[in-house]
Structure 1
Amino acid sequence: MNQPTVPSRSSSAERSGKSGSKGKGNGNGAGKRPRKGKKKLALVWLFFIVLIAIVCAVVGYLLVILNGERILNANINKLNLDKASIVVDRNGTEVAKLYNAEGNREFAPISTIPKVVQDAFVATEDKRFYEHNGVDLLGIGRALVKDVIARSAVEGASTITQQLAKNLFLNADKTIFRKGTEASIALALEQKMTKPEILELYLNRIYFGKGQYGVKTAAKYYFDVDDLEELELWQIATLAGMPKAPNTYNPIRNPEKSMERRSVVLKLMYDQGLITEKEKEAAAKEVYKPSKASQVDDKYLAFLDYVLDEAQEKTNLTEEELRSAGYIITTTLDTKAQTIAEKEFANAERFEKSVDEQIVQGAMVIMNQHDGSLVAMVGGRDYKAQGWNRAVKQRQPGSSFKPIIDYGPALETGNYFPWSTVQDVKQCFGDYCPSNSNRNQYLGAIPMSQAIKESRNVSAVWLLNEIGIGKGLEFANRLGIELGKEDRNLSIALGGLTHGVTPLQMARAYSAFANGGKLYEPHSVLKIEDVNGKSIYEFNEKPEQVMKETTAHYVTELLSGVVQKGGTGTRAAISGRTVVGKTGTTQAGIPNLRTSKNRDVWFVGYTPELTASVWFGYDKTDKDHLLDGSSGQAASMFSAVMSKVLEGYKKKSFPVPSGVQEEEEQKLDAVSGLMVSYSPETVSVDLLWTAVPGEEITYRIYRKEAAEQEFKMMAEVEGTTYDDMALLPDQTYTYYVTAYQASKSLESEPSEQQTITVTSGMETTPPTGEEGEETIPPVETGEPTETTEPPIEVPGESPSQTPTPSEGVPPPETSESPSPDIPVTEGDDGTVPLVGTFPQ
């Protein structure tokens, strides 16, 4: 009996394959049942993972809350702010307490704090204060997103409650657990206190700089306001902007940054609908003036403020943390030297009288070049009132910058020596035409020692042009003064800088000359210890050899002449002590004002024991606030202070390194036998002289017309003849020749002068000898008069006259051409461009 045919599994599979299912399983549904099982298993695991995560989160949250409550309950009455840090001098004697609770905090109930004051702080520090429970998760997320976008920590996320927790219950130690502890305390505070109570505590505990805690105390200190209801909007915004960085946004110490921060606060208040645009604009324009309450008679205030700045930088602690954690800060302060300096700066007779309440200001830094320690610092005559530390503010240095940018770099090349010859001839370098204002304006070829002694401007510019601007900038950078691309021009040869330098920078740079080329980091902090005596910082930086010892020796040799008879810094001399240094004067630089008055005057100098810099000038310069005198008054202050300070120091002498060369070994013979004659065939004046012995000797020809006061270099030749064809009829010409050895930068004394007259008919009178010739003006032996000439105005401000290049003088052979956009005006011992940043 035939059985019915049953389709086999393979046949079904084949048919299934034919219908388009290619290789997906071994049959209908054979592979689907395991997939469903895996999905169910994954869902079960996911459920348990989520459950465990929720449980962990709840447990973690409870632990955080319990931890916060435990800390809160255990320390509810604890205030770390009462633990004042102490500053001691180099001998371990206490000189100041950085915080004294009595009188520096006055509690103000929330009912006495106006709503606009409360709103200003909330808008600035924590605009979601009334919405979160102590920790702003939304704010944290927003901050994290911004940090990721910026690839750095650009925005914080601490709430007002967290800040209060930190100020009340946490010490100044920073650990990886601190932020979490801060958050736990904040959550606990929100459980126990109302928002107004939290805000009240916050406004009475935050730090406002200058040892002032709480909004009421700060209002009294900065604005002489006892009743907070009397605070004006601009004052409120100023206070609200300070907690983020009390030192940076302090209106006394940094009035400009304070105004900038105030504008930010006002914008935040406006954006949140708390004030009108008109109110915002009016409040932003107000200018802060120090209050009477801030004019406290504190000793060593400028030095102590600098100590705090340095300590913050070295430890990464905030000023508040440094003041409130009971640290002992050992400093480099010499109280005797500091007292002497402050006393001299308090003597009004040492300063010019002003026409109004804006007085002539000054600053001074004294540094020990042998270890980099700061001995004393004066930030101004009324520093306790202003808080503007002029010792670290930039001003134009004038000729006091010449050793750093001109002479030091030239000596470092090994091609120049103090007796090397430099050119003091009126000439232009491209579009830049410097000039001297010495009594004998131009002297021709002179020794480098004479050029710096009499502070001759053209010689300094010529020298920098010879060695190249790049070498000058690189040398200055090694001394700690970094100049930008905008300063890559020849005006820097005379101290014409875009932003200027600080007295501290100048003292540091000169200290390397005084210390055999070794440069230390200037420092005021020796060590910092916590309440348990554990050291958290100690100065141990080593010096850097920034120049050859011979360079430092030669610079010292050059600068010694400045303080001697005939130099510009004779008033800095100290009886019985070796003093060297350099003066500096910068002119007014005010458009449309022609005056011989000055903007800045300097003296920077050193002895074998100490280095010091002195600056005088007005904080804000205008036509009514300029100095009548010159750098002599700064030199006098140097002498007055240092003569007393050095009484406690054993006399030393500058070391003489090996390899120092003597002048006698480097002198070239003067050119002799000079004769001049007129040649009708070539229509020229022919010069002939006797060769000078030596290798690679060239000869420089100088000429002046009868109507001219100064000689100009006509050419440099290798032979002993020269034909001058640049002649005019009816003119009398006088010539002299010098020998020059480029390998050693030596130039001989001038030859005898010879004079010849070319008549209209091109007939000539015989050359004369010494009796009929005009001689080079003699070098002045007395102290130069520090006179100045009217400034060249800034292009665009007023018409300026630029001298044309001298005939026969080739353009400078350098790729570093000076910028025509930064003109320089010449003074007695230095020049400055009409550019720069000055305090307003």
Structure 2
Amino acid sequence: MEEKVQIPEQPKRRRWLLWAAILAGAALVIILASGVTYAIRVTRAAPPLDLARLSQLSQITTVVDREGRPLGLLMTDGSREPISSLAEVSPDLVHGVIAVEDKDFYHHPGVDIQAIFRALWQNIRGQQIVSGASTLTQQTVKLVFFPDQARTLTRKIQEALLAIELERKLSKDEILTTYLNWAYFGQVGTMNVYGAEQAAHTFFGVNAKDLNLAEAAMLAALPNNPSLFSPYSHFSAAKERQTLVLSRMLEQHYISEEQYRQALAFDIQKALRPVSQHSAAKYPYILDEVQDDAASLLVQRGLAPDVDKAKELLATGGFRIETTIDRDLQDRVNEAVSGQSYRPDIGYSVLLNGRPTPIKNAMEQVGAAVVNNSDGSILAVCGGRDYNLDQIDHARLPRQPGSTMKPIGVYGPAVDRGLIGSGSGVDDVPTSWPGYRPNNFDNRFHGMMTVREALVQSYNIPALQVFSRLGPGVGMEYLKKLGITTLTPDDAVISAGIGGLSRGLTVEEATNAFTVFPNQGSVHPVHLITKIVDRDGRTVYQHANQTTQVFSPAASYILTDMLRDVVRRGTGSAVGRRFPSMAIAGKTGTTDDDRDSWFIGFTPDVTIGVWVGYNYPFPLHPVPGVSPRDERPRAVQVFADILQRARGGPWLHTASFPSAPSGVVRVSVCNKSGELPTALCRAAGTVVSELFVKGTEPKTACDVHVRAAYTVMDGKKYRATTATPPDEIRWGIFIQRKAHPPGPAPTDAGLEVPSTPDPRGSEVLPLGGGDTPQPTPSQGQSPPGASSGNGNGQQEQNGGPPGHPPRTTPGAGNE
């Protein structure tokens, strides 16, 4: 019998390990070959190390208006003030930069291998980019040869290769000098600050070689993130970064403990030069807006990784930015804003982070915009009264809009949805919602009226009743379609109907939203830039006009007609009195205690929006020397002055608004019920002609007006009864409400049917309806010769109490 030979396990294992080693070696060869091939390809694609570029610092970016006329510069070469050697810079600045950016600068060949592996490990552990490994040499290469600042593996390899080559051609001091000339230190006012010398002048008003330790450490802190560490806008973050620089300098023995303590104790904030000393531009607010918008556009097109890098690119890249601004109109807007009699600067206290904080020398501020109705282009913009004193752009800072919300978020959408027309009836009586009991600006309730009258007099309760029917969420969706970008999910609440928003609206976006009315329901994105061209003449951005139909032409026509009445006889009547023959419509808005004043008005050609208030909201005090009776809402006055200066220019060339489209019908209604009038409505003088989208007009007769028999005893009206002597019975026309909510009686309560019967008892005489014949004497009517009327004299006949003129100035509460 033949025996089987057993193969030992150990030779099998060795054979497997051998094959595994062969395969691993082959894979490693392939990987190395691929890596070498990739490296060769990346190296060939890298730009040549042209040392001449080190002195080619930047090119001017110009900003022009719609006619090509200059508005300003985002940066100039002359302001960079390059240094020629490190001897021209404080040693503290040199040591600070090395300590915080690249402590081994004088010891590596251009790249720091240990730092690369350390950063790689940190990034892997964090599963994101949490640490960088660029040396000062690499950063210099990036600033000079790769201004687009892209962050890719290919770019990193190219930067490393060029850094090694640069180290072979320049000394360490020459490389550091180049870095200090090219480094970006952030934006101050309208200036983008490049280079250590210009940074020293801009921030501290000294030469770079004369910086003290604290100042040098602050400048060394900035290039890492100029926006975040700006000592003007983020002082706490800047101070924290400065402390880090000083700590690193102490650790690396550049300074002593005593120098460290003295530098920390130095009042660096006091040493900073005021921003006002850097702003020589004529249109600084415009330049700020242009820079912000252009930076966002460059990021969107992949020309910069973030806004900060895009601003750097704009400041040095030699672009030409064409804007929508009309310089002639802009000058007139500036004149109108500066020519006002403002309230003197005041001081007050506000709660900031839960603590009372004093506000000193608060200036009454203005934000304004003029938008071309036909395309949404901004023709002129005012960010504030004086850029040297306040750099906040009030045309772009969200503010509570008050009643300017009503046309675009309440009545416009409700008309568009077919819920109301201008003649629909509303009842201004005490009304509440869960946790919310609003009031009108005058703390009164005005009773039954049309939607038109509620908007003209800017009553809050009717607007909120309509908003409740519409649905707050629906109103917010309309605002989004109109281009409003400042809304939050928390804004879909009932109070939003009269401007109670989490953040508010900006002047520019709110103004553009109102262009929907003269534009027959369509709106265009509001924009400031039409074209960006790079230094080589290539167009990197071209505005493409878009149109969104938000309201129907019929709804827009109806709202325009209502808003014209606001100017003719309502809260904006000061504008109507000043321009009686001009086609103008608009809406006022105030917030609680007159903390914000708005007016947004439009002609057939342009829409002008104005906001007036304080940086930290506070009631607007009366202007000295002007009586409260004569004083207009501040925003209305600024609007009127802008419009006055714009008259006669090419911006206002259309005499009238578009005629009524086919979808609008005019119907006679009762101005109490909003329904078809009856004989009683006609007798009471409450018939008005109103507008509706075809198909939404009222179909039923008014049931609010009734005829009732009454008697007067001791000056009080009582319902007549069968026991009332016939010679005491009077017949009058009254209104009757379906409900009487608790709270103060509305001002038309005197028009209601008397609620108390004749105390002499017996059966109350029946009411007569709108077209019901007056009862004969045998039915309880007084004999011929008995008194007859409307039950309350002429004031009831007219549908409202005397002595109640249209409101022209806002009072307490939202208007």
TM range (shorter): 0.7 to 0.9
Which of 468, 477, 482 matches 2:480? 477
Partner amino acid for 2:588?
A: T
In structure 2, the CA distance between the partners of 1:57 and 1:428, relative to structure 1 (3 Å rule), is closer
State the match for 1:600 in structure 2.
596
State the match for 2:770 in structure 1.
none
Alignment deviations for residues 668-689 of structure 1 (CA, whole Å, 9 cap, x no partner): 3456779xxxxxxxxxxxxxxx
Query: How many pairs were matched up?
Result: 698
Partner amino acid for 1:301?
A: P
- Whether the 8 Å contact between 1:120 and 1:269 is mirrored in structure 2 is yes
Partner amino acid for 1:637?
A: V
State the match for 1:798 in structure 2.
none
Question: Are 1:99 and 2:79 matched, yes or no?
Answer: no
Deviates more, 1:175-184 or 1:578-587: 175-184
Alignment deviations for residues 482-507 of structure 1 (CA, whole Å, 9 cap, x no partner): 53233233221221222122111211
Aligned counterparts, 1:205-604, within 5 A: 205-207=182-184, 208-209=186-187, 210-226=191-207, 229-230=210-211, 233=214, 239-240=219-220, 242-244=222-224, 246=226, 250=230, 255=233, 258-259=234-235, 261-262=237-238, 265-266=241-242, 268-269=244-245, 272=248, 274=250, 291=274, 294-316=277-299, 317=304, 318-347=310-339, 349-355=340-346, 357-438=361-442, 441-481=444-484, 483-571=487-575, 574=579, 576-588=581-593, 598-604=594-600
Shift of 1:53: 6.5
Alignment deviations for residues 743-796 of structure 1 (CA, whole Å, 9 cap, x no partner): xxxxxx99964435469998999999657648564376755242523xxxxxxx
Partner amino acid for 2:180?
A: L
In structure 2, the CA distance between the partners of 1:383 and 1:631, relative to structure 1 (3 Å rule), is farther
**CA distance in structure 1 between the partners assigned to 2:493 and 2:261 by the alignment:** 46
Which of 106, 129, 136 matches 1:160? 136
1:97 match: secondary structure? strand
**CA distance in structure 1 between the partners assigned to 2:162 and 2:249 by the alignment:** 31
In structure 2, the CA distance between the partners of 1:85 and 1:273, relative to structure 1 (3 Å rule), is closer
Shift of 1:107: 2.5
Deviates more, 1:129-138 or 1:398-407: 129-138
Alignment deviations for residues 701-750 of structure 1 (CA, whole Å, 9 cap, x no partner): 99xxxxxxxxxxxxxxxxxxxxxxxxxxxxxxx9622699xxxxxxxx99
Partner amino acid for 2:343?
A: E
1:614 match: secondary structure? strand
In structure 2, the CA distance between the partners of 1:286 and 1:98, relative to structure 1 (3 Å rule), is closer
- Whether the 8 Å contact between 1:307 and 1:525 is mirrored in structure 2 is yes
In structure 2, the CA distance between the partners of 1:514 and 1:124, relative to structure 1 (3 Å rule), is farther
Alignment deviations for residues 154-193 of structure 1 (CA, whole Å, 9 cap, x no partner): 6655443222112223454969754443332222233444
- Whether the 8 Å contact between 1:404 and 1:476 is mirrored in structure 2 is yes
Which of 80, 85, 97 matches 2:61? 85
In structure 2, the CA distance between the partners of 1:771 and 1:195, relative to structure 1 (3 Å rule), is same
**CA distance in structure 2 between the partners assigned to 1:334 and 1:415 by the alignment:** 40
**CA distance in structure 1 between the partners assigned to 2:267 and 2:549 by the alignment:** 49
1:603 match: secondary structure? strand
Aligned counterparts, 1:604-615, within 5 A: 604-615=600-611
State the match for 2:178 in structure 1.
201
State the match for 1:636 in structure 2.
637
Superposition TM-score, scaled by structure 1 size = 0.72
In structure 2, the CA distance between the partners of 1:643 and 1:787, relative to structure 1 (3 Å rule), is closer
1:375 match: secondary structure? strand
Flag structure 1 segments of 5+ consecutive residues without an equivalent.
Answer: 1-7, 14-26, 589-597, 675-692, 703-733, 741-748, 790-825, 831-840
Deviates more, 1:638-647 or 1:603-612: 638-647
**CA distance in structure 1 between the partners assigned to 2:155 and 2:76 by the alignment:** 26
In structure 2, the CA distance between the partners of 1:699 and 1:303, relative to structure 1 (3 Å rule), is same
State the match for 1:786 in structure 2.
809
2:591 match: secondary structure? strand
- Whether the 8 Å contact between 1:511 and 1:606 is mirrored in structure 2 is yes
1:393 match: secondary structure? coil
- Whether the 8 Å contact between 1:124 and 1:265 is mirrored in structure 2 is no
**CA distance in structure 1 between the partners assigned to 2:270 and 2:469 by the alignment:** 48
- Whether the 8 Å contact between 2:586 and 2:601 is mirrored in structure 1 is yes
State the match for 2:616 in structure 1.
620
Identical residues among aligned pairs (%): 26
CA-atom RMSD, angstroms? 4.5
State the match for 1:685 in structure 2.
none
Partner amino acid for 2:81?
A: R
Shift of 1:564: 1.0
Partner amino acid for 1:581?
A: G
1:515 match: secondary structure? coil
**CA distance in structure 2 between the partners assigned to 1:652 and 1:137 by the alignment:** 73
In structure 2, the CA distance between the partners of 1:311 and 1:639, relative to structure 1 (3 Å rule), is same
- Whether the 8 Å contact between 1:79 and 1:169 is mirrored in structure 2 is no
- Whether the 8 Å contact between 1:420 and 1:447 is mirrored in structure 2 is yes
- Whether the 8 Å contact between 1:738 and 1:751 is mirrored in structure 2 is no
- Whether the 8 Å contact between 1:223 and 1:291 is mirrored in structure 2 is no
2:370 match: secondary structure? strand
Shift of 1:416: 0.7
1:102 match: secondary structure? helix
1:383 match: secondary structure? coil
Which of 169, 182, 186 matches 2:159? 182
**CA distance in structure 2 between the partners assigned to 1:163 and 1:147 by the alignment:** 19
Partner amino acid for 1:430?
A: P
Alignment deviations for residues 358-388 of structure 1 (CA, whole Å, 9 cap, x no partner): 3211111111121121211111111255432
Deviates more, 1:531-540 or 1:258-267: 258-267
- Whether the 8 Å contact between 2:323 and 2:531 is mirrored in structure 1 is yes
**CA distance in structure 2 between the partners assigned to 1:769 and 1:271 by the alignment:** 95
Partner amino acid for 2:176?
A: L
In structure 2, the CA distance between the partners of 1:282 and 1:435, relative to structure 1 (3 Å rule), is farther
**CA distance in structure 2 between the partners assigned to 1:513 and 1:552 by the alignment:** 5
Shift of 1:478: 1.8
State the match for 1:28 in structure 2.
6
**CA distance in structure 2 between the partners assigned to 1:546 and 1:785 by the alignment:** 30
2:540 match: secondary structure? strand
In structure 2, the CA distance between the partners of 1:619 and 1:200, relative to structure 1 (3 Å rule), is same
**CA distance in structure 1 between the partners assigned to 2:317 and 2:179 by the alignment:** 19
Shift of 1:614: 1.0
